[in-house]
Structure 1
């Protein structure tokens, strides 16, 4: 009930600072009164039940089984529940409404053990069924992300700190503690151990008590987009940098432990070990005898060995996702390694790339078609880099990765760093430099839905900001499929964390559930759309001109959509590019 009441307070707020304060006070209270409840409270507030890499899912589906439990718990037919869900667009609100009906009529469910969901719902009071049902649906719909929960945990720890005072010269202990918890979670995403360490040793010691560990996934470092070799030379004019082929595969962080076991994680910290048993066999064979443990950052690429040919990501996606038997593999892969983060018990992320690359090269043997180091070039010559780019595209790569080599060249987990750039051949003629990943939040009626309102994500404000309408370039089949997919996501009113101009009046609103990859001609300042408002213009946002859908990104969550800061950076890069063109 305490948790549900805190959620209820948050439900009417849209400001990130206020929401963080409510979560902080909630966690402060738990730490002070029942610290043993801190771990389950964090999991519930984050709408999770276990670390992502453990792959633990509720496995109850999104609707039908929950509807059945609600109908039995509150003495209603499934048809009545479905009808009210259609009207309200929120099963949590349905549960709440049905609870009020049950209280008014004096009826309740007696058979509390028929199934787990029913017994949970029967035991709820007041606003509890609202949030319990949403937790079962794995969507709290409160407009805050895990990052806010982590910040609130850090702040709560400062208020409850009994172990030590903040380090000297700490100007703002609340902000610093929030930063520490976020950074620790990025390299050690396990609430169970973080909570234990925080309660016993304090928040200021957290970086020492919860460290980078083989077998625990770390979010990989990411790159920012650029549109030309000239811009790369301008960006890194005083810095030595290196270029690598950008392979069209799946990012893989490969962990090898001292007990001889392997774990392979995706860029989203999901365990892919069962998907790539052949990768483990290859690395067992090609690591040098002196290597006892490691964490490699690699790209796993579909590979046709008979013709020594790289195959596209679409081919790799046809491979089974788990419990793969080596003898049944039909899509072979080659591992292209480009970084080592940990080696023989030594953490390397604070070393510059030249050192990490040297350790990588000296620790493994190459076997073409099975395991290779990413093809690299260190040069500041425009012509050489252009030739290198063309060569990468010719063999089936997407383009180049450009990285600082000797200075400002540490590995920054989970960050989209200024020290890594990506140059894709496909986007060199586009002034925005890259495709963008956006979230459909509303639609306008047509034959199906005629046009969709898309939004980017503001990480700091934790809100979805409108950036464009997209309604051309769809076939009838595309429109029907997209409309069918989103019909079940319709909600009665826009979320409090949607930033949309009052002049835009969509016919329907959606839950933020899907991510669409979109290309566009360029970016422009907009008096209507709200993307990156206040960053490049105090009162106006940025919009996309002539957007077109590339694909639906099933591998991304809405909060992983292109950020408003990235949109602003793309706009600034476009202006530089246009200025360069004017000079010529």
Structure 2
């Protein structure tokens, strides 16, 4: 029997489709995953609850343009809203007593897909949000999640991304087509959403179905993601068929794209955050009978971005704004245990002199850069303990041994959030083991008694202590609180080794010692002053990393997505001998090719790569991959983008073949002499090196050469 865990990221048992009355924003989230619904064990399909914040409904409509070109002037939020309001009145979903229809959201998707202009995209999205605030405020969080194609906060771990074969079977069965026909159309169009749309439009219906409700679509998406066990594939197909049967207009296209995990409309999450601010500021101004102040929109954008980095849960943020207003958001919605914040990241450097230039006339500290897995450790006032990865994945069940040692080092601390590195540790010889050893630990069904690779936690920052956020405190004060509140446990919990100095020789000696102690190099951090506060999600110049191996190269390694494979020759003939790699463009939501590499792989690693990638082979590249179509440059096989690997290169160069950063440069950027370092299972494909990052690295390199 297929089984679902009915998780609800609000800690309630309510569905998106249920009414909500005067909900208060959660001041503290002590848990990140709510209890399962009592009904979750009864049947293979269960509706999954939704946001604990307003619900979803609304959106405009426009003609679609596959070329994504628009020559029209950029509309104002107000003008687009007027059109949306008219549309809502026509279809009846603009009334607060009626449900929000999915087609309202689809209409906005069509408008966004028809343009490449960022301001126009933002205006359409803001118009949708404003109309929802006016008609169905309780649906706001759900609408946002549908727009960014997610099922809840990242730490919930709910994902769709269904495979092509399952989706093609669903399309065939729901439209009366043969699997062969669907496959042929997919090869022709390269977009399963368009295949579903064309198949559906040619299907005759005996009667017109009830229109799809946005809440029901979202609930069904969550149900599908939570359905596991025997017969789960059939259960998922049946749920998809029910939705497809009710689709009208262009809804089928976006249902299938959402299920595939790729909306492909060019709506980046940062644009959604901007649109949220515009909508809320406009909504509040209109309610007060005032004109919208552009300065308020700018302030609102900054506030939402900052708060989201600290508390990445749209439902909680939206609830707080609805109750207290957007301008009070930073007061009413703060960092909390049970909700992992986005970690602060460091900028790479190529020399110690570069570090000294950056931190001239300031106080800074050097810390060992440990070669392990970033771990954010939470303990709530109720005693619950969680461990999260750098990309907000809940790793608590993967590290039961880590959880069991928390009471040993936590002392009297009632609640806290620590920023740490989990490192493989040899308890007999009391030394750090390579990252490759850590990567052999099981990722599922971990039994503490069967663990062979032990970890030691190296804590380097504290972000929250006993109900108080420490983010704005200088690093020197945070470090002092860390050492006062916690106790080292040899071989299990240690403070990151550090040294405060500005002497070049001392830094070089400390760097050399870090390498001898099995570390990657040093982290150099601003120690005093306002700028030394913790900046969630930001790759900051107030943290610099110096890696011994990279001083003569490009300054840092890159995390690249594996897009294609080339068959090996000679001794490598039974594996893929080389790989086509790419970066992620966060604005266009595309993967851009950056290099081909065959260096650095052992035969054992090639076998592991083959075993990992073979199941992900697809017949044609996804439409969100930007590549050179010259036959000589095409890989032998394409992969569904799922795997991230770390690559080291000598330098960067402009290329007529590769596409990385091509929208910012006259040509794409490529890597010279790329070499494989390791697989990054701790990183998702959207956490890979971005187009913006590689452009910045190229420009920094050019500046140094110049």
TM-score for the superposition, normalised by structure 2: 0.72
Secondary structure of 1:36's match? coil
How do residues 160-175 of structure 1 correspond to structure 2 at under 5 angstroms?
160-162=283-285, 172-175=295-298
Contact 2:660 2:694 in 1 (8 A): yes
Q: CA RMSD in A?
A: 3.7
Q: Could you list the per-position Cα deviations for residues 162-207 of structure 1 after superposition, in whole angstroms to 9, with x for gaps in the alignment?
A: 599899x976333332222222111111122222222232222222
In structure 2, the partner of 1:205 is 328
C-alpha separation in 2, matches of 1:387 and 1:47: 49
Counterpart of 1:240? 363
Distance 1:277 1:145 in 2: 36
Uncovered stretches (5+) of structure 1, i.e. residues with no partner? 580-584
Equivalent residue number for residue 582 of structure 1: none
Asked if 1:36 corresponds to 2:36, the answer is: no
Q: Equivalents in 2 of 1:348, 1:94: separation in Å? A: 51
User: Does the alignment pair 1:21 with 2:148?
Assistant: no
Contact 2:559-2:644 at 8 Å conserved across structures: yes
How far residue 453 of structure 1 moved from its aligned partner, in angstroms, is: 6.3
- DSSP 3-state at the match of 2:518: coil
Are the aligned partners of 1:449 and 1:483 in contact in 2 as well (CA < 8 Å)? no
CA distance in 1, matches of 2:289, 2:327: 7
Q: For 1:520, which of 649, 653, 672 is the aligned residue?
A: 649
Is 1:389 the counterpart of 2:519? The answer is: no
Q: How does 1:70-469 map to 2 (within 5 A)?
A: 70-103=171-204, 115-162=238-285, 172-289=295-412, 291-407=413-529, 408-430=531-553, 432-439=554-561, 454-459=581-586, 461-462=587-588, 464=590, 466=592, 468-469=594-595
Distance 1:165 1:203, change over 3 A: farther
Deviates more, 1:346-355 or 1:154-163: 154-163
CA distance in 2, matches of 1:45, 1:80: 30
1:563 maps to which of 687, 690, 693: 690
Distance of 1:30 and 1:98 partners within structure 2:
31
Cα distance between partner residues in 2 of 1:446 and 1:17? 46
Judged with a 3 Å threshold, the aligned counterparts in structure 2 of structure 1 residues 165 and 216 are, in CA distance, closer, same or farther, namely farther
Shift of 1:467: 6.6
**1:393 deviation in Å?**
1.0
1:170–1:520 CA distance, 2 compared to 1 (3 A): farther
Q: Deviations over 1:393-452 (max 9, x none)?
A: 11211111110101221000011000001111121221x111223346689999999987
Counterpart in the other structure of 1:66 = 167
**Equivalent in the alignment of 2:701:** 574
| Distance 1:213-1:404 versus aligned 2 partners, 3 A rule | same
Taking structure 1 as reference, are residues 424 and 474 closer, same or farther at Cα in structure 2, changes over 3 Å only? closer
Indicate conservation of the 8 Å contact 1:162/1:202, yes or no. no
Matches of 1:254 and 1:141, distance apart in 2: 35
Distance 1:179 1:454, change over 3 A: farther
- Indicate whether 1:545 and 2:672 are aligned: yes
- Give the whole-Å Cα distance in 2 for the aligned partners of 1:524 and 1:166: 55
Decide whether the 8 Å contact of 1:88 with 1:491 is kept in 2: no
Cα pair distance change 1:383/1:527, threshold 3 Å: same
Shift of 1:544: 2.8
* Superposition deviation, residue 513 in structure 1: 5.5
- Relative to structure 1, is the Cα distance of residues 71 and 314 closer, same or farther in structure 2, using a 3 angstrom cutoff? same
Larger mean Cα displacement after TM superposition, 392-401 or 176-185: 176-185
> CA 1:15/1:486 → structure 2, altered by over 3 Å: closer, same or farther?
farther
Q: Is the 8 A contact 2:377 2:420 kept in 1?
A: yes
**C-alpha displacement at 1:458, in angstroms?**
4.7
Q: Distance in 1 between matches of 2:677 and 2:279?
A: 43
Give, in whole Å, the separation in 2 of the partners of 1:450 and 1:106: 54
SS at match of 2:519: coil
